[in-house]
Amino acid sequence: MTFTAAVSGASGYAGGELLRLLANHPDIEVGAITAHSSAGSALGALQPHLHSLADRVLQDTTPEVLAGHDVVFLALPHGASAGIAAQLPLDTLVIDAGADHRLQDPAAWEKFYGSVHAGTWPYGLPELPGHRAALEGARRIAVPGCYPTSVLLALTPGFAAGLLEPDDVVVVSASGTSGAGKAAKPHLIGSEVMGGMSPYGVGGGHRHTPEMEQGLSLAAGERVSLSFTPTLAPMARGILTTATAKVRPGVGHAELREAWEAAYADEPFVRILPEGQWPATKSVLGSNYANLQLAFDAHAGRMIVSSVIDNLTKGTAGGAVQSMNIALGLDETRGLTIQGIAP
């Protein structure tokens, strides 16, 4: 059986990655492809790597154009999803790659996004405890943020098993520039970013912080607080997260490793690397895979977890397709690549 899927926001990086995956998906037929200011252009002029769809013309992003598909992907600026979704049939699977429906706490939404909260949808990270079941048959799904995906995969097993202290998580992530989007901004041009690194949103201001705290708190069963510093790395894709938390007294390396390995033993897209091997973002490029490695620094009393994902694949579009597969009752790995592109 083939499902039809529409993709809005097709001129951006999330939209382009969604189309790349959907064009290769054996059970999906790509229907409407929509955009805002680029409507009327051929996709080949905007996403020249999508060769099989090069001659498709972008339509306007309206409920009318999107309706009539089995699945509608929204890859829109935050704040734009709720209005569109409200005009789509309730039995259409609507998958929001934006932030609008991720947070459960309206106050957190308002503090970080400055608008009225649009409500919460099932959270599309099936590897978290209990989340997969909530996605089965769902017709509204919120795709996690790319940083939260990398952080929640890194730390959830320890909090779920009660091995980590909740009050002083410190996370530093390095992201490829595609995470900053496709809009041409002076600090994002190649001459500025190639060959250098810089931080941004330091001091607790990044909008993904409450999403991370929400996920970890759910797993821990108590409030987890976290310091998050994102940095921009000179690469187009990939996130390397260094996530550290204090270990509860008496917990040792073996117990920690067992908790993580148990948590992901049956997951098709997450792997704890053999000891001694460290993850590299290039190993998961273009794939829906996450690699983790763990270290227990007894001297500092901290657990350090390194995680890598491709921000556009597992961190956005791949995670979205994985959740779609679950919601539609397809095999969870359908249409998703396991191997990374390297070197």
Of 176-205, binders to a copy of itself (CB under 8 A) are 176-178, 180, 182, 184-186, 188-200, 202-204
Q: Do residues 271 and 288 touch, judged by C-beta distance below 8 A? A: no
C-alpha–C-alpha distance, residues 91 and 137, integer Å = 10
For the record, the structure tokens of 204 come out as 């607790």
Query: Contacts with a copy of itself: how many residues (CB under 8 A)?
Result: 92
In angstroms, give the least distance from the CB of 60 to a copy of itself: 20
- Whose CA is closest to 125, among 109, 148, 93, 104? 148
Does residue 244 touch a copy of itself according to CB under 8 A? yes
Q: Do residues 157 and 263 touch, judged by C-beta distance below 8 A? A: yes
In angstroms, give the least distance from the CB of 77 to a copy of itself: 17
C-alpha–C-alpha distance, residues 179 and 182, integer Å = 9
In angstroms, give the least distance from the CB of 324 to a copy of itself: 18
Determine whether 254 is an active site residue: no
Closer to a copy of itself by Cβ: residue 126 or 340: 340
Closer to a copy of itself by Cβ: residue 121 or 260: 260
Closer to a copy of itself by Cβ: residue 23 or 39: 23
- Whose CA is closest to 92, among 116, 55, 66, 118? 66
Q: Do residues 17 and 97 touch, judged by C-beta distance below 8 A? A: no
C-alpha–C-alpha distance, residues 222 and 236, integer Å = 36
Catalytic residue among 18, 80, 118, 146: 146
Site map for a copy of itself, 12-51, x if CB under 8 A?
A: -x--x---x--xx-------------------xx-xxxxx
Q: Do residues 174 and 239 touch, judged by C-beta distance below 8 A? A: yes
In angstroms, give the least distance from the CB of 136 to a copy of itself: 25
Give, as one character, the DSSP assignment of residue 207.
T
Q: Which of 98, 145, 238, 319 binds a copy of itself (CB under 8 A)?
A: 238
Closer to a copy of itself by Cβ: residue 65 or 213: 213
Q: Which residues are catalytic?
A: 146
